[in-house]
Amino acid sequence: MMKYSKWHLKAVICCFFVLLGSHGYAGAAEESKWSFVGFTKYRDALFIDKARLSRPSTGKVLVSARIEPSAKSLFRRNIKREIPQYKNSLKNFKYLVLEMELSCPEHRMRFLKIQFFSATGKVMHSTADPEAPWKPVKSGSLWKDLEGAVCS
């Protein structure tokens, strides 16, 4: 029987859990139209729909982004304050879909439409603002990763 060092066994176990943990998101991306981009600072999964990506003018990109808040997310707790206004229960809330516009050369973005979805895929609430204000895409943020995925 081969002997392995403690370090070697720890490395193998760690790799196993990393692969196992990422499988759920990789599998979700394969089964649907959503491509995994990364995690928000609250450890919520961020996906984009590359099939609905469009370029209405030079340097501008329209893309749908999906955020799936984790169970203990600070983001989820912030949403908890808004959901009761829509007369729906937070326990049924599953994810958000953001219709975003990015101005790639200027490194800016804005949210044109936000939809809250239940676990069954039903729209719980939707809001749109075609004149939404532009916000900077900050270096080191997940939005910078999203910008890199759609602007290149």
What is the per-residue pLDDT across 17-72, written as a single tens digit (0 to 9) for each?
333 343 444 444 445 689 999 988 778 899 999 899 999 999 999 999 999 988 88
- Enumerate the β-bridge partners of residue 128: 113
Confidence class for position 73, pLDDT limits 50, 70, 90: confident
In the predicted structure, residue 90 carries a pLDDT above the cut 60? yes
Residue ranges and CATH numbers for the domains of the chain are 33-151 (2.40.128.710)
State the burial class of residue 28 (Cβ atoms within 10 Å of its Cβ: 0-12, 13-18, 19+): middle
How far is Cα 94 from Cα 72, in angstroms, rounded to an integer?
Answer: 13
Determine contact, residues 111/100, Cβ cutoff 8 Å.
Answer: yes
Q: Which two tokens stand for residue 33?
A: 């139209």
